[in-house]
Amino acid sequence: MTERWPITGVGAVASVGRTAEEIFESLCAGRTGLAPMREFTKDWYTAGELYEIQADTKDAAGQPSTAQRATGFLLDAVAQALADAGMDEDLGDIPVLVGTGLRELRSVERWWRDGDPLTAAGLHFGAALRERFNASNTHTFSNACSASLYALSLATDLLADEAGPEVVVVAGTDSITESMFGIADRVQSVPPGAVRPFDRNRMGTILGEGAAAVVLRRAPRDGAAPRGWVRGVGVNCDAIHATAPDAGMIAQVMRETHRRAGVAPAEIDLVMLHGTGTPANDLGEAQAMGEVFGEDVTSPVMTAMKSMTGHTSGGSGLHSLITALGSMRTGRIAPTITLDDPMDEVETFRIVRDKEASAKVSLAQINAFGFGGINAVAIVEAAS
């Protein structure tokens, strides 16, 4: 058995739920978070729907706030994970590793356009984490859409070090920024209408928002069963293209993750696909899966949750990981609700469609790939 690390607590917020359990139940029911956008002026844009969280966030003091949404999501998810792990909220020097795409860019936009109050300290998640959780050891990584799995990789490195900490909190968070939405709106002259992973008629991604957090330990707490185990995380950065993926490098990071976890493709029961619904990304991921899994690509069940949550950017990797833990616990696999006409490259894949499926899941693979070739894959194991 290779080294593995217990996940003792989870927390999450997204457009389809404000807790990890709510999100999992919504995904299994096939409920989408796509709704008319609230944050931006609709007349300025072609698209009019986003996967927003339809509730106000809370600031570090626990008060309702429409500012610093990414920070509010982060605090919520971390608080949930700590409670789930049976920990109090005084973290002290326990490392908190946060992955994000755009940090608090939305707050900068509101400051520039509307004059909303903003301080330099408010741009760093560490200030709010220190105020809410007395966290003195915080680190933020802006690694695009694979950011939270990059943070998870570093957490396993810290725990593997005999001189390292006993506990690490790992999180990912992002809010929808108007600049990113505006760019996507100009690039996609015809709005996608929905995120359609691996469909022949996919037209692009739609932004979502939220956060996810897990508590990772060196060893389980006495008398407390873990939620699951991290068996291995692999990362690479190919820098081949600013936005387009490279199937060969995605395949390479999958193989490296399998090596670290000590597993073979045939042993994997579930794959949480990155599945952004964009032409190039879905094609690259499908090609890499076919190359690495070979004939075994027909074995694991697969799903792509962005069909219901949109692209949650920095939090998306951990969102998928927490969903995989839910499938391990319940045997329920959420569907990819918008996959009507699968592209040729996935016709042999067992992608769950239309409604939830049942399967025993002992090992799951989580895919997360970002702009600039920032690729990350994790393998998690069921608790029992």
Q: Are residues 186 and 291 in the same domain?
A: no
pLDDT digits (tens, 9 = 90+) for 325-380: 999 999 999 999 999 999 999 999 999 999 999 999 999 999 999 998 999 999 99
Q: Which residues contact 352 (CB under 8 A, 6 or more apart)?
A: 301, 302, 303, 333, 334, 335, 336
pLDDT digits (tens, 9 = 90+) for 215-250: 999 998 877 889 999 999 999 998 899 888 999 999
pLDDT digits (tens, 9 = 90+) for 22-48: 999 999 999 999 999 998 999 999 999
180 in a structural domain: yes
Q: Are residues 304 and 185 in the same domain?
A: no
Sign of the alpha-carbon torsion through 277, 279, 285, 289: positive
The DSSP annotation for 93-127 comes to T--EEEEESSTTHHHHHHHHHH-----SGGGSHHH
Q: Are residues 94 and 126 in the same domain?
A: yes
Cα distance between residue 275 and residue 271, in whole Å: 11
Residue 310 half-sphere exposure, CB side, CA atoms within 13 Å? 28
Comparing 56-70, 72-86, 290-304, the range with the smallest average pLDDT is 56-70
Cα distance between residue 244 and residue 100, in whole Å: 19
Split at pLDDT 50, 70, 90, the class of 1 is very low
Q: Which residues contact 322 (CB under 8 A, 6 or more apart)?
A: 10, 12, 20, 23, 24, 212, 214
pLDDT at 321 over 50: yes
Q: What is the SS3 assignment for 210?
A: strand
Q: Are residues 198 and 260 in the same domain?
A: no
**Domain containing residue 42: CATH number:** 3.40.47.10
Q: Are residues 316 and 376 in the same domain?
A: yes
Q: Are residues 243 and 140 in the same domain?
A: no
| In the chain, % of residues over pLDDT 90 | 86
Q: Are residues 107 and 200 in the same domain?
A: yes
Q: Are residues 147 and 237 in the same domain?
A: no
Element (H or E) spanning 261, and its range? Answer: helix 247-261
Domain end among 190, 217, 244: 217
Question: Rounded to an integer, what is the distance from CA 205 to the centroid of its chain?
Answer: 15
Q: Are residues 260 and 195 in the same domain?
A: no
Cβ contact 169:99 at 8 Å: no
Q: Are residues 264 and 200 in the same domain?
A: no
Domain end among 156, 188, 217: 217
pLDDT at 171 over 50: yes
Cα distance between residue 243 and residue 182, in whole Å: 17
Separation in Å, CA 320 to CA 83, 135, 311, 364: 20, 26, 11, 10
Domain end among 217, 239, 268: 217
Q: Are residues 179 and 265 in the same domain?
A: no
223 in a structural domain: no
Give how many domains the chain has, as a whole number: 2
Of 142, 69, 364, 319, give the one whose Cα is nearest residue 214. Answer: 319
Q: Are residues 187 and 48 in the same domain?
A: yes
Angle between helices 316-330 and 147-160 (to 10 degrees): 70
Domain that holds residue 285: 229-382
Cα distance between residue 30 and residue 45, in whole Å: 28
